[in-house]
């Protein structure tokens, strides 16, 4: 029997790598994660050395799951992760797709709980101003009590959102400080050390006002989304509508993460994340059924250095045949709108939320006509890793979402282009994200006057996005 201890994902992974390379079956390992807990059994065997000759090939999706599940507070996780790893590498390579499997189900539950906890932390952490060492410098502290060890999962979000502030988030098990350059992790602290004073209300108001988009307020969600024990650190009630809007976006992502049982394009991402590798890997994507009927995947097009990214819904008939985005009728209208807005299409990266053409067939004379069909949320979710990889690589100054599909993929399902068109909003992707009409919506608009108005709006929105790049 091996008696092993792991405090975090990296320790577990190192152990697991060695054990697996020595073919140690799960039943021969006892895992625990508390260093103060004495192992009662004598003579634990030393860990085997990693055999360099045996390379273990583990599905990437598992590593992604493992990093999240490792934050789940229970010793069960290490055993479960190792058993799953063992099975994946011993003849059950597609195990993660079998949602009815007990281990996969348990892993999925843990992943969901951790993701949910991260969502709560993002929505409810509230900073307070404290005295800083240097007089000209302001520092902010927040106290939060997560259920799981999620500080490392959530901290990058705060470093992006509060890039210009010097802040610390304290939790009972871990803490993290952003010094405007890097995240520094430290031990946890008791609640009594968290600052009590009420200085940051205005900052929160501005912060929330700037990142939220108008969306319906669901009061019932408030009860669901605010566990009582978060209340002592919550902002006052006037901010609650804003928080609810945040919650609505986060709930979408939570729902998405439970859909994580399903297959996504993440399985097909190449190791090398440059545009050429991504584009060619997308051709082999089988994460949803759309690939079965389309001619080819239509990947985004443009330079990696582009400061403006345009996102459409999915390729149309002509795009599907040519393999390039926005080359059909909607593309021609887009080109002319870009030109009027003074934007050179060669300077822009143009892509779609979904990379394969979805259509229904209609008899036409002797042949058939392929009619565009809207992608469903399952397909959008499956395809999302491609879009995320594109945005991660390009890191544009501005993003334009053309129509409801990209807008909802980016802002959440409550987003309405008709309400929030033209507003420059902050998102996880970049500080200036704007939603506007899809050129195809103009082509379908029967009323000429209305169509002209929509075209003006499209041009103006493209121009205002270009102006912030
Ligand atoms: N419509 C889109 O959304 N994308 C295209 O590439 C073409 C038409
Ligand atoms: Fe993959 Fe997207 Fe094509 Fe579906 S639509 S197969 S997720 S590339």
Summarize pLDDT for 362-416 with one digit per residue, the tens: 887 777 888 999 999 889 989 999 999 999 999 999 999 999 999 999 988 888 9
**Mean per-residue pLDDT for 439-445?**
95
Nearest CA to ligand 2 atom 2: 383
Pocket lining: 194 vs ligand 2, CB cutoff 6 Å: no
Identify the CA nearest to 33 among candidates 84, 82, 76, 86. 76
Residues 113 and 149 in one domain: no
Q: Is the CB of 326 under 6 A from ligand 1?
A: yes
Q: Using the 3D structure, point to which of 176, 193, 210 is the last residue of a domain.
A: 193
Q: Please check whether residues 255 and 135 belong to one and the same domain.
A: no
Share of the chain above pLDDT 90, in %: 50
Instruction: Give a yes or no: residue 266 inside a domain.
Output: no
Q: How far is CA 291 from CA 271, 354, 358, in A?
A: 21, 11, 9
Task: Determine the pLDDT at residue 263.
Answer: 73
Question: How many distinct structural domains can be found in the chain?
Answer: 4
State how far the Cα of 329 lies from the Cα of 137, in Å rounded to an integer. Answer: 55
Please state the atom number of ligand 1 nearest to the C-alpha of residue 403.
3
What's the 377 CA to ligand 1 centre distance in angstroms?
17
Same domain for 97 and 135, yes or no, is no
Average pLDDT over residues 202-225: 37
Residue 239 has pLDDT above 90, yes or no: no
pLDDT at 319: 96
- Residue with the larger pLDDT of the pair 79 and 207: 79
In a domain, 256, yes or no: yes
Give a three-class secondary structure readout of 330-373: HHHHHHHHHHHCCCCHHHEEEEECCCCCCEEEEEECCEEEEEEC
Mean pLDDT of the chain: 81
Judgement on whether residues 15 and 144 belong to the same structural domain of the protein = no
Helix, strand, or coil here: 429?
coil
Q: Is 352 in the pocket of ligand 1 (CB under 6 A)?
A: yes
Give the confidence band of 148 by pLDDT, cuts at 50, 70, 90: very high
Residue 268 CA to ligand 2 centre (angstroms): 10
Q: Which atom of ligand 1 is nearest to the CA of 312?
A: 3
pLDDT given at position 41: 43
Tell me which of 5-14, 128-137, 337-346 is least confident.
128-137
Q: Could you tell me if the CB of 380 is within 6 A of ligand 2?
A: no
Atom of ligand 2 nearest to the CA of 286: 6
pLDDT in tens, 37-71: 444 443 456 666 655 556 678 888 999 999 999 99
The model scores a pTM over 0.85: no
Residue 288 φ/ψ, nearest 5 degrees = -145, 175
- 345 and 434 in a single domain? The answer is yes
| Domain termination residue (choose one: 120, 146, 168) | 120
Highest mean pLDDT, choosing among 129-143, 265-279, 391-405 = 391-405
Residues 105 and 160 placed together within one structural domain of the fold:
no
CB of 288 closer than 6 angstroms to any ligand 2 atom? yes
Q: With respect to residue 237, please indicate whether it lies within any of the assigned structural domains.
A: yes
Same domain for 425 and 327, yes or no, is yes
- 53 and 29 in a single domain? The answer is yes
Flag whether 68 is in a domain. Answer: yes
Task: Let me know whether 394 and 459 are in one domain.
Answer: yes
| Residues 333 and 370 reside in one and the same domain | yes
pLDDT for the residue 389: 95
| Cα 273 to averaged position of ligand 2 atoms, centre (Å) | 17
- List, in sequence order, every residue forming a beta bridge with 434; answer none if it has no partner: 400
Tens digits of per-residue pLDDT, 308-354?
999 999 999 999 999 999 999 999 999 999 999 999 999 999 999 99
Atom of ligand 2 nearest to the CA of 282: 8
Per-residue confidence (pLDDT) for residue 195, from 0 to 100: 45
Distance CA 198, CA 291 (A): 54
pLDDT score for 52: 55
Is pLDDT above 70 for 225?
no
Q: What is the mean pLDDT of residues 284-294?
A: 91
pLDDT of residue 141: 78
Asked if the structure places residue 94 within a domain, the reply is yes
**Is 267 domain-assigned?**
no
Phi, psi of 276 (to 5 degrees): -65, -45
Does 353 map to a domain? yes
Q: Evaluate whether residue 39 is within a structural domain.
A: yes
pLDDT at 267 exceeding the cut of 90: no
**Residue 335 belongs to domain with CATH number:** 3.40.470.10
Residues 363 and 440 in one domain: yes
Distance 353 CA to ligand 1 centre (A): 9
90 and 165 co-located in one domain = no
Which residues form the domain of 149?
125-193
Calculate how far, in angstroms, residue 420's C-alpha sits from the geometric centre of ligand 1.
21
Token code pair at residue 319: 């795009």
320 Cβ closer than 6 Å to some ligand 1 atom: no
H or E element that contains 409? helix 404-411
Where a domain ends, among 120, 147, 175? Answer: 120
Give the residue-averaged pLDDT of 440-457. Answer: 95
Q: With a cut of 60, say whether residue 426 has pLDDT above it.
A: yes
């Amino acid at each position: 029997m091996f008696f092993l201890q792991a405090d975090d994902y990296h320790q577990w992974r190192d152990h697991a790598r060695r054990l697996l390379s020595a073919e140690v079956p799960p039943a021969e390992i006892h895992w625990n994660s508390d260093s103060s807990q004495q192992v009662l059994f004598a003579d634990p065997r030393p860990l085997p050395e990693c055999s360099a000759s045996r390379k273990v090939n583990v599905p990437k999706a598992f590593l992604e799951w493992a990093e999240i599940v490792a934050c789940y507070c229970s010793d069960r996780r290490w055993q479960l992760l190792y058993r799953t790893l063992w099975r994946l590498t011993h003849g059950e390579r597609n195990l993660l797709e079998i949602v009815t499997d007990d281990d996969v189900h348990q892993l999925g539950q843990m992943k969901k709980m951790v993701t949910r906890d991260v969502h709560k932390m993002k929505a409810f952490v509230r900073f307070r101003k404290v005295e800083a060492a240097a007089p000209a410098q302001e520092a902010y502290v927040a106290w939060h009590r997560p259920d799981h060890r999620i500080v490392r999962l959530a901290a990058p979000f705060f470093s992006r959102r509060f890039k210009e502030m010097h802040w610390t988030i304290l939790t009972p098990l871990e803490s993290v400080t952003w010094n405007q350059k890097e995240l520094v992790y430290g031990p946890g602290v008791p609640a009594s050390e968290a600052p009590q004073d009420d200085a940051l209300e205005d900052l929160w108001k501005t912060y929330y006002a700037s990142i939220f988009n108008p969306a319906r307020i669901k009061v019932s969600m408030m009860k669901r989304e605010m566990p009582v024990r978060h209340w002592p650190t919550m902002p006052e009630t006037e901010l609650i509508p804003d928080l609810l809007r945040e919650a609505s976006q986060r709930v979408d992502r939570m729902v998405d993460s439970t859909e994580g049982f399903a297959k996504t394009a993440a399985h097909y991402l190449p190791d090398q994340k440059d545009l050429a590798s991504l584009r060619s890997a997308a051709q082999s994507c089988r994460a949803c059924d759309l690939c079965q009927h389309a001619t080819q995947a239509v990947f985004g097009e443009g330079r990696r250095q582009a400061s403006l990214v345009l996102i459409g819904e999915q390729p149309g008939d002509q795009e599907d045949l040519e393999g390039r985005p926005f080359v059909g009728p909607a593309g021609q209208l887009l080109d002319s709108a870009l030109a009027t807005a003074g934007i050179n299409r060669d300077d822009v990266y143009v892509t779609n939320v979904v990379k394969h053409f979805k259509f229904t067939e209609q008899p036409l004379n002797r042949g058939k006509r392929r009619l565009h069909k809207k992608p469903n949320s399952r397909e959008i979710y499956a395809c999302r890793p491609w879009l995320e990889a594109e945005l991660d690589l390009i890191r544009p100054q501005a993003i334009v979402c053309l129509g409801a599909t990209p807008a909802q993929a980016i802002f959440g399902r409550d987003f309405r282009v008709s309400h929030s068109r033209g507003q420059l909003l902050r998102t996880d992707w970049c500080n200036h994200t704007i939603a506007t009409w899809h050129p195809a919506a103009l082509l379908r608009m029967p009323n000429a006057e209305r169509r002209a108005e929509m075209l003006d709006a499209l041009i103006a929105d493209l121009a205002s996005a270009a102006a912030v790049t």
